[in-house]
Amino acid sequence: MDSRPKTTVVLLSITISASLIVLAAVLYFLHYLWYSLVRRSRTSPFSFDAAASPLNKLQRFTYRELKNATHNFTAANSIGKGGSGAVFRGILKDGKLVAVKLLDPNSLQCEHEFQNELKILGGLNKPCPLVVTLLGFCVEKNKRLVVYEYMPNRSLQESLFFDSNNNNNDVGCNNLRLNWSRRFCIILDVAKALSFLHLECDPPVIHGDVKPSNVLLDSNFGAKLSDFGLSRLKLDCEIGVDNLFSQDLGKSQEIFRSSNGTPPAIGTPMESCHENDEVDFASALQASASSRNGCKVYHNVMGVLPIASLNLKGKELLPGENENGGWNSKFVPYDDELSSVDHSKELSLNVGDDAKQWGKDWWWRQDGSGELCSKDYVTEWIGSQICASANLDNWDEEKGPITPHEKIVLDNSRQLDKFEEVSENPMQEPRFECPNIEQEDSKKSEVCDAKRHRKMHEWWKEEQMDEREKISKKGNKANRLKVWRNKERSKIVPHFGLGKCFEFKKRRKFETDDQNMEFSFRKGWKKNNKKNNSRSMGSDMWSGDLFSRELSSTTSMRGTLCYVAPEYGGLGYLMEKADIYSLGVLILVVISGRRPLHVLSSPIKLEKANLISWSRILAHSGNVLELVDERLGDEYDKEQASLCINLALACLKKMPELRPDIGDVVKILKGEMDIPPLPFEFSPSPPPSKIPNRSRRKHKSNGD
């Protein structure tokens, strides 16, 4: 009789405990899910092993110390803003003036850059006066701060364009912050700094992001190289993209043509090469495009690209993997993980209505294809600019000056009354939120990548063939080509995340009010933080690197568009010659006082929009001095100027092996060596049908 209630109690207690267990399991699962999706993806733990690390020579600050030093990171102490965080001026307890970089705590990319910066800059085997001194760092929870020596004249970018943002007529040569001798010394300093990194460091350091905003100026306008967030150490056994590029893209295509489709023998000399005057930014864009186009130009490179580098014990490791199977932050693999950029916001904030419309188109196109193509982005953007204000050209000597309100609302044309205005009137940079990055199963990713490579390869072939080639595609020669290319392709080793499709996780955010957004290519769209929204003139919005932030910001990219070497298409490791290329761009920028890509409203002046191709045209016509910043008047050394420009052009050779190495660059600048005569080279520029070759046409018509 009594057994019934007993059974009921037992059943009830079993049911309750079972439900509790299930509930606990569900809660645990949900917590795990939340932790792994939200918390863990935001920051990777930074392990500071003081004993083993080269960081032990660096001072470790507390957050409170740095907060006090910068007066709670007040806007008044804000001295700049880069892709990875804001920089503040601060005074330490001992009275030392420092620059404190406060990194975005929610960005995995920033975490990598932080670790990279500390390990490379902090681990330099000897100090170099031409490299900015890293004084210390702070790691507390998810807070990451880096402390540098303070450079009173901030960045070269600011100094160069501070001058240019003043009215040209008002600034006499004597009032220029950067007169000729300073400019020449800066070029020499940067070359020497690179020489230190490439030749004196063991292992050599590839800076990977040489550009004016990463060159800081001390009180005497002496230059120091900074920002090692994208740098890397070079291993002996590595094969960089420059070797691959030269072997494969440079020689194979040209040799192939000259051999009528017969597979070339290794070591076959290049015979008939032609200098191609095509607009270079197009090739740079193609080379640098973060998704399909990046592969498009350099699919041949992929053919022999090794993603596995050998460690000293000979064990094959993936880039970024260390011997213990862990992650080595010095070797961050390139991938497209951060490539979901909504350019429509960027455009709508920087250009007029037409461009807004264009921005919408871009957004629509992203929706359609799911992938971003930088080349289209920039070329179309340029097109929209030209249409938007076809009668404007602030460089057009023939037309005379234009009123400020007539100018395209492009930040790099904006004039500032005072240098201080930079920090007083923070620029509203649109941002996007960094998408969460999840580590993919390496096997899955390899299969995926191989598929993508195949697709992209096919697509590239289609793109590259002109009509004649397409007709003869079925012919015997082409079949031989196919066999040979297939052989090359069989060597493909997939790399990380190339061409990773766009994710639109943050799409709802993009659709919100523009006014509250700011843009940083490294970090993406973000709500404006009024506290830290100071603007740096060194910001790429000011630099003509407007587009480049996409590239420097996505982990598929190393460096900055217009400064990044064309051999880099989002794959593999950049090598020393990539730094040489960036140095070449920097030299031209310093000498001309112009941004590498300065979008103009007049199609006639498009040749001037691209500093590199314009300087090639001038060199062709023997008139390189036309490039020199006109604000200098006659106050410059003509011999030095033409030496620098010719040297820059040598550094800008598309084939890395044709560029001088840094030792020679320094010798040439010091006058200890002549610029070696440079052979012509095959240009990997895109087909003329894709990008109209205005410069060449113009050149021809001039010749007539």
Ligand X SMILES: Nc1ncnc2c1ncn2[C@@H]1O[C@H](COP(=O)(O)OP(=O)(O)OP(=O)(O)O)[C@@H](O)[C@H]1O
Q: Which residues bind ligand X (CB under 6 A)?
A: 79-84, 87, 99, 101, 132, 148, 150-151, 154-155, 157-158, 209, 213-214, 216, 226-227, 522, 536, 538, 552
Q: Residue 340 is which amino acid?
A: S
Nearer to ligand X, 445 or 543 (CB): 543
**Dist. CA 605–CA 599, nearest whole Å:** 9
Nearer to ligand X, 230 or 492 (CB): 230
User: Catalytic: 704?
Assistant: no
Write the CA distances from 35 to 22, 143, 367, 503, 597, integer angstroms.
20, 18, 30, 21, 43
Nearer to ligand X, 247 or 560 (CB): 560
Q: How far is the CB of 151 from ligand X (least distance, A)?
A: 4
Q: Residue 47 is which amino acid?
A: S
Q: What DSSP state is assigned to residue 323? A: T
CA 621 from centre of chain? 31
Q: What would the two tokens of residue 696 be?
A: 């060449």
Of 10, 440, 478, 54, nearest to 228 (Cα)? 54
Nearer to ligand X, 83 or 656 (CB): 83
Place of tokens 């709508």: 348
Nearer to ligand X, 99 or 301 (CB): 99
Q: What DSSP state is assigned to residue 530? A: G
Nearer to ligand X, 227 or 242 (CB): 227
Nearer to ligand X, 238 or 550 (CB): 550
Alpha helices in 472-593 (DSSP H): 476-489, 507-510, 548-553, 576-592
- Phi–psi pair at 81, nearest 5 degrees: -145, 125
**Dist. CA 105–CA 100, nearest whole Å:** 14
* 367 exposure class (CB count in 10 Å sphere: 0-12, 13-18, 19+): exposed
**Dist. CA 583–CA 662, nearest whole Å:** 10
**Dist. CA 338–CA 367, nearest whole Å:** 17
Q: How far is the CB of 88 from ligand X (least distance, A)?
A: 9
Nearer to ligand X, 298 or 563 (CB): 563
Of 570, 481, 578, nearest to 302 (Cα)? 570
Q: What would the two tokens of residue 122 be?
A: 């902090």
- Phi–psi pair at 99, nearest 5 degrees: -110, 130
Q: By the 8 A CB rule, do 430 and 519 touch? A: yes
Q: How far is the CB of 692 from ligand X (least distance, A)?
A: 31
Q: How far is the CB of 666 from ligand X (least distance, A)?
A: 24
Tell me if residue 26 falls in helix, strand or coil. Answer: helix
Alpha helices in 389-475 (DSSP H): 421-424, 442-464, 467-471
Residue 8, C-beta contacts closer than 8 angstroms, at least 6 positions apart = none
Q: How far is the CB of 550 from ligand X (least distance, A)?
A: 11
Q: Residue 299 is which amino acid?
A: H
Q: Residue 571 is which amino acid?
A: L
Residue 407, C-beta contacts closer than 8 angstroms, at least 6 positions apart = 389, 392, 394, 413
Nearer to ligand X, 79 or 241 (CB): 79
Q: How far is the CB of 156 from ligand X (least distance, A)?
A: 9
Q: How far is the CB of 305 from ligand X (least distance, A)?
A: 26
Q: Residue 529 is which amino acid?
A: N
**Dist. CA 247–CA 418, nearest whole Å:** 50
Choose, from 104, 163, 209, 664, the residue flagged as catalytic. Answer: 209
* 71 exposure class (CB count in 10 Å sphere: 0-12, 13-18, 19+): middle
Provide the CB-side half-sphere exposure for 591 (13 A, CA). Answer: 31
* 26 exposure class (CB count in 10 Å sphere: 0-12, 13-18, 19+): exposed
Q: Say whether 6 counts as a known binding-site residue.
A: no
Q: How far is the CB of 212 from ligand X (least distance, A)?
A: 9
Nearer to ligand X, 150 or 510 (CB): 150
Closest residue by beta carbon to ligand X: 82
Burial 324-347 (b: 16+ CB within 10 A, else e): eeebbbbbbbbbbbbbbbbbbbbb
Q: How far is the CB of 531 from ligand X (least distance, A)?
A: 16
Q: How far is the CB of 613 from ligand X (least distance, A)?
A: 24
Of 471, 491, 473, nearest to 481 (Cα)? 473
Going by the annotation, the residues of the binding site are: 101
So which residues are the catalytic ones? Answer: 209
Going by the annotation, the residues of the binding site for ATP are: 101
